[in-house]
Structure 1
Amino acid sequence: MTHIPYLFKYNNTSFAHYWSKGVGKELLDQLGYVPNLAIAEKFIPLLYQWDRVGDQVIHDLFTKTGFSGGNASLFDYIDQKPLAEAQKDVFDNFFRHVDPDPEWLDRRKLQIGAELSRRPGLTSLIVLRDYCLMGGYESAAINKPLIYTGALKKGAAKRLTETVEFWVQIMKEDALEIPNTGFKSVLSTRMIHSFSRVNILGKTDWDSNKWGIPLNSWDMLATNLGFSLVFLVGLRRMGIQPSEEEVDGLFHLWKYIGYLLGIPIQIIPENENEAIEALFYWTMTQREGDGDTLALATALKDEPIHAYYPKQALMRQMMREIHLYYNRYLLGDYSCNQLGLPSTTIGRAAIINIWKTKKQEKRINEIGFRENMIVEGGREQENVRLIYQKFNSQ
């Protein structure tokens, strides 16, 4: 019988509040029923399933070359450059299990999903940072790998820089076409996950009885939901009203990305209703954040103060307050209080961007307006990526 770790206890008051009194209540109303929590126990084995295919690459190559060397070889393989026979064999075996162009893939839907992600511009990045990323700290177990890999010590700016780099690169036009940067970025991220897992299990006192295997399939699904469903909810909270075609494209996009990342294809949601049900099961089987995750939340809260941009200390303090306002606006008071996030008065200046976003969305069906927003939004996101790379890589 599979061991039931401590997190499957159905007593997380934070997430229970989300589904009974928070935004989750609207999602359940949309779904039309409350999922049977007892069914969640069938997902327990996923805590002990992981990307063995990716880990094999780490064992066969990355442990010998180091991560940078292994990653360079991966990119050379994708670019069809000459490789040593042993290295080529490693990646030949990997891609026997990973089809970059599966028969179910609809590249038109990928395009539409990426366009939805680009067209809100800075608003998309706000949702990712202040809703998806900060909200994820409400669970203890999923964040343990961050602690064990030293993410807290490295600082929130580094993690934000890496997240922005990953997300912006994969959302660019045709980014997931082989051998473009977005496609490489997804597979490189998969190697990061495997490299981290192999090192955590091999070099630390990780307790699998408590937390399952590091970066297991169940928690990887939750991360996928954070980028798809939770991101979608956040966009709507900010005033974006995606069409059915855009929503369908967003979930197809993250189905493909999730597949490339090694998440079992059968558990990745096909649509919004499936995603709502999956999010319910995952959140309601999580313990609340502990001291480690509260420390991560605090680090993210204070990231603007310790960043290198803007250069003026007063402006960095202002950015901190603005992000705190978005935290309250998107997550709600209950979750922010759970995470130890203070309220703010000065940060209410963020309302201007919300107002601007809603005003623009009213024009989305005007001829040429949507297309222009996709171009301008993508440019805005790229500028933010470059700022993070320049100032936070110091």
Structure 2
Amino acid sequence: MTGAPLLDTTSVPSPPYLDAPHVRYFWEKGMGKDLTTWTGASLSEKDFPRFYPLYHSFDGLSDTAVLDTYLSLPYPEASVLIQRFLKGEKPLENTKVPQSLPLLVASMHRPEWFDSTLASHGASLCMRAGTNALMILRDFTLMGGYDFAYLNKPLIYTGALKKGAVKRLKDTLEFWVAVTRENALEPGSEAMQLILRTRMMHSYARLKIKEHAKDWDFVRWGEPINTWDMVATYTGFSLIFMLGLKKMGMHITAKEEKGLFHLWKYVGYLLGIPHEVLPSSAKQATEWFYLWTLMQAPGDAHSKELAQALLEENLQSTIYPFLWQRKAMRTLHQSMSSYLLDPPTLQRLGIATEGSHHLFPKFVTKINYGLKRFYPVGEPKRYEAMKKKGHQQQLKVLSDYIKHTPKDFRY
């Protein structure tokens, strides 16, 4: 369910960055060209009027629930109320559950179009990708997303930049791991509870931005954490994620590709995005992603700050006890980004592009090509073994981040 647009969107403007140099490079020479070559997408602006209103729409159902809880009660009391409700426990004495909360939960019912078997194929890809998946998510999907200036504005206005990349990475990793395990999205599961908390966190951040950010530019940036930006974000977890894996030499089966789009279509739906605007295939995702990029300015000074904070995260984290280890990890992540991202993006984000930095990603790519040759995914026993190993690798990294990350803070 989306809230009413703040602005009158009956008159759809022309795409503001249709012929901008950064957009043209992206789609004619850069990552966008890789996407169209892979997917066979046909780029056109004809559907822009259909998607533009999403830039000024939002999750009104969740916003109401947040207004009735976090913004009506003391923050700790609201947190306890929601936790007890999700566990099926009675609220504390003198506390009532607002009607908006069960309505929000009811909106997250399992739709008829959801195919759990298909979604499990997508989850299997995420698990068997192991540490490849985590590097792509961090150094390609997340880092590359910082080059879209307007998408980053909520991070700036909520102070997430100052609160540090370590916490942001832990939250993203925890969410991704939770929702990409096989059969994780059962009613009442921990993953479903995390999705609901994430949905309400988005609303909390949006309402706080609208309350305090008097200079928020609704014309250029849309609603804070708007529906179209949400679609683009979860396209990053499917389309861009798979492109990154392909760049690193991993083979993706047709079932895995279709399943991953189905999985993220369902996760996006649970987060309050209308399922009709969530892509079901690589071709559709590319064509719709193209329309969104026409709304985005290139990376700016804040983009560079976010990128540098992500690079410096390894130096701040205490996962590795010695400084030389943390510096080595920083270099490896920088090498991955410089290998995977377009040159103009690297320049705007301030990421070094020395040729020697490509040694590590090229080494990983050769390993993946070798595994693809000697351990074909078509053999069930080997496939299950790779999936189990990758799952364990990801849980180990997540465990380290949880152990070495400060406790949750308010947004």
Normalising TM by the smaller chain, what interval? over 0.9
Q: 1:119 aligns with which of 128, 152, 177?
A: 128
2:377 maps to 1:368: no
- Distance in 1 of aligned mates of 2:98 and 2:36: 48
Separation in structure 2 between the aligned mates of residue 30 and residue 306 of structure 1, nearest angstrom? 38
Matched, 1:162 2:171: yes
What whole-Å deviation, never above 9, does each CA across 1:62-120 have from its counterpart, x for those lacking one?
21335554344334333322236731633222234x14211111111121111111111
The residue that corresponds to 1:21 in the other structure is 29
TM-score by length of 1: 0.93
Match of 2:303 in 1: 293
Amino acid at match of 1:380: Q
In structure 2, relative to structure 1, the CA distance for the partners of 1:383 and 1:63 (3 Å cut) is same
| Counterpart Cα distance in 2 of 1:271 and 1:218 | 17
Amino acid across the alignment from 1:339 = L
Following superposition, the deviation at residue 210 of structure 1 comes to: 2.6
Instruction: Call closer, same or farther: CA 1:41–1:354 in 2, change over 3 Å.
Output: same
Taking only aligned residues, the RMSD between alpha carbons, in angstroms, comes to: 2.1
Q: 1:170·1:181 contact (CA, 8 Å) conserved in 2?
A: no
Tell me how far apart the structure 1 counterparts of residues 114 and 344 of structure 2 sit (CA, whole Å).
40
**Cα deviation 1:32-80 (Å, max 9, x = unaligned):** 4532225324322111100000000011112133555434433433332
Larger deviation, residues 271-280 vs 334-343: 334-343
Q: Against the structure 1 CA distance between its residues 349 and 9, is the aligned structure 2 distance closer, same or farther, given a 3 Å change threshold?
A: closer
Q: 2:181 aligns with which of 172, 175, 183?
A: 172
Equivalent residue number for residue 279 of structure 1: 289
* Distance in 2 of aligned mates of 1:61 and 1:221: 26
> Gaps (5+ residues) in structure 2?
1-7
Helix, strand or coil at the partner of 1:82: coil
Q: How does 1:58-97 map to 2 (within 5 A)?
A: 58-67=66-75, 69-83=77-91, 86-87=96-97, 89-96=99-106
Deviation (angstroms), 1:228: 0.9
Q: Which of 186, 190, 202 pairs up with 2:199? A: 190
Cross-structure match for 1:351: 362
Higher mean C-alpha displacement, 30-39 vs 154-163: 30-39
Describe how 1:315-354 pairs up with structure 2 within 5 A: 315-344=325-354, 345=356, 348-354=359-365
Matched, 1:139 2:152: no
Identity across matched positions, percent: 34
Task: Determine the C-alpha separation between the residues in 2 that align with 1:6 and 1:138.
Answer: 22
1:224 matched to 2:234? The reply is yes
Partners of 2:301 and 2:15 lie apart in 1 by 15
**Which consecutive aligned stretches of 4+ in structure 1 deviate over 6 angstroms post-superposition?**
3-7
**1:367 to 1:107, Cα distance in 2 relative to 1, 3 A:** closer
Deviation at 1:147, TM superposition (A): 0.4
Shift of 1:346: 5.4
Shift in alpha-carbon separation, 1:67–1:114, aligned structure 2, 3 A: farther
Structure 2 Cα separation of the partners of residues 347 and 24 of structure 1: 21
1:258 aligns with 2:271: no
Q: Deviations over 1:191-215 (max 9, x none)?
A: 1100000111012222212311100
Match of 2:51 in 1: 43
Cα pair distance change 1:210/1:346, threshold 3 Å: closer
1:132 Cα shift?
A: 0.4
Q: What letter matches 1:325 in structure 2?
A: S
Separation in 1 of the partners of 2:74 and 2:400? Answer: 28
8 Å CA contact 1:121, 1:377 repeated in 2: yes
The TM-score with structure 2 as length reference comes to: 0.90
In 2 relative to 1, CA 134–168 (structure 1 residues): closer, same or farther, beyond 3 Å?
same
Structure 1 contact 5–210 (Cα < 8 Å) conserved: no
